[in-house]
Amino acid sequence: KAGVTQTPRYLIKTRGQQVTLSCSPISGHRSVSWYQQTPGQGLQFLFEYFSETQRNKGNFPGRFSGRQFSNSRSEMNVSTLELGDSALYLCASSLKLAGHSEQYFGPGTRLTVT
């Protein structure tokens, strides 16, 4: 079974631009979450989507947004990019069963803002 895929893997943008990152979950997984990893803050939760609905949002400004499609694929968007948005953006998927289910991560998108 294929793992979580993320595109693009690397991206360089200029301050003020916007960017869209894509995530395809493991087949059958309906929950997708996004995380930002930076050297200073570590791994920080951005948002969680399930059945095309945002279920939870982390402490990030409104410039960070996302959505999930009917096939469970997800995109996140960052508008008006700032230098501090340079980070590794990770997507994770899970079955989200009634009990607990593990989250599996993709390889990430490395975003550099200049």
Partner 1 sequence: DQQVKQNSPSLSVQEGRISILNCDYTNSMFDYFLWYKKYPAEGPTFLISISSIKDKNEDGRFTVFLNKSAKHLSLHIVPSQPGDSAVYFCAARMGGSEKLVFGKGTKLTVNP
Q: Does the footprint of partner 1 cover residue 92 (CB under 8 A)? A: yes
Question: 81-110 in b/e burial notation, b at 16+ Cβ within 10 A?
Answer: beeebebebbbbbbbbeeeeeebeebebbe
Residue nearer to partner 1 on the CB measure, 20 or 105: 105
- Exactly one of 21, 25, 33, 68 binds partner 1 (CB under 8 A); that residue is 33
- Exactly one of 48, 64, 72, 113 binds partner 1 (CB under 8 A); that residue is 48
Distance in Å from the first CA to the final CA of the chain:
37
Q: Does the footprint of partner 1 cover residue 43 (CB under 8 A)? A: yes
Q: Which residues bind to partner 1, rule: CB under 8 A?
A: 4, 6, 31, 33, 35, 42-45, 48, 50, 55-56, 58, 88, 90, 92, 94, 96, 100, 102-108, 110
